[in-house]
Amino acid sequence: MQDLAAVQAIVKQWGDLLQDIEDTRELIELSMNELMDDATAAEEEEYAAEVAALKQRLADMEFAAALSDLHDKDDAVISISAGAGGTESQDWVEMLLRMYLRWAEGRKFKTTILDQLTGEGAGLKSVTALVKGEYAYGYLKSERGVHRMVRISPFDASNRRHTTFALVEVVPDIKEDIEIEINADDLEIDVYRSSGAGGQHVQKNSTAVRIKHLPSGIVVTCQNQRSQVQNKETALRILRGRLYDEEQKRQEEEQARLKGQHVEAGWGNQIRSYVLHPYKMVKDHRTKHEVGNAEAVLDGKLDDFIEAFLLYNIGVTPE
């Protein structure tokens, strides 16, 4: 009922917006027909302000829709690994880590380095960090993919330009604690005579237990105890373990789906390019969004790129 109420509230917001757009359009058309060329500057400004307000409401609601996936509110686990480029790519991993830590700091998110492998000579071969904050995964999922950098390498004595790559992977922090609740109404329990050893008592009495979990179809049986109660308790423990295992598999499959197909951190796979020489520009190859202030982006100014991707991901084209 809570989920239904939340969805109904969202639907109502869109309905209200549509109605307000129609009312404003009709009001402007009516006023224009009456006034023709006599509309005052003040009236035109008033209509323009109403239209601007409606556009902003639409933009805000589109952005909210872009953060409505199941795990968008979760914390995020971000992993960065060096690709083609040797020491240069390891330094690039460390630069990207700094960029994301600065971005998280600007949003008051908490970060924890979970694991890192130091590079040979400089930088990091790989690093994994936990980013904790509301919608951390919803924002950072836009960063999944290969990131390419072009610059004059500080590790090249000849001062040549180098191109290097790093792979960024982002998954939601799905909690490992799995609570298994078994509803008695979901169980079909049968008792029967044990076929195992145990003498006349076991053979003449229905001590064996078969339990079928109707939602999952899992069937467990137990007949090695002399008591029907003991067999039922054992069967329920087995069922709980089977359900736990199934839930773990489901979460692992969900993690794999969210992580996406593995790609090599190399030519042709990049989602974004950071060019520091011979000119300065950062360009996202999916949304075509680009800025000339590369230093600001590397200092954590990522919101414009994140917003552009989220809108692109739901089919909204910026004006």
* pLDDT single digits (tens) 125-175: 999 999 999 889 999 999 999 999 999 999 888 889 999 999 999 888 876
pLDDT of 42 over the 70 cut: yes
Q: Which residues of 141-150 are buried (b: 16+ CB within 10 A; e: fewer)?
A: bbbbbbbbbb
Domain 76-176+260-313: CATH architecture, name and number where available: 2-Layer Sandwich (3.30)
Q: Domain boundaries in the chain? A: 2-65, 76-176+260-313, 184-256
Q: Which fold has domain 184-256?
A: Double Stranded RNA Binding Domain (3.30.160)
Q: What is the pLDDT of residue 253?
A: 77
pLDDT one-digit tens code per residue, 87-130? 999 999 999 999 999 999 999 999 998 888 898 888 999 999 99
Residues 3-8: what's their mean pLDDT? Answer: 81
pLDDT over 50 (residue 201): no
Q: Average of pLDDT values for 235-259?
A: 76
Taking residues 300-319, what's their average pLDDT?
Answer: 85
Question: Does 76-176+260-313 match 184-256 in CATH topology?
Answer: no
> What average pLDDT does range 242-263 have in this prediction?
72
CA distance 1 to 174: 24
pLDDT band for position 202 (50/70/90)? very low
Q: Compute the distance between CA of residue 288 and CA of residue 74 in angstroms, rounded to an integer.
A: 28
pLDDT over 80 at 294, yes or no: yes
pLDDT at 62: 75
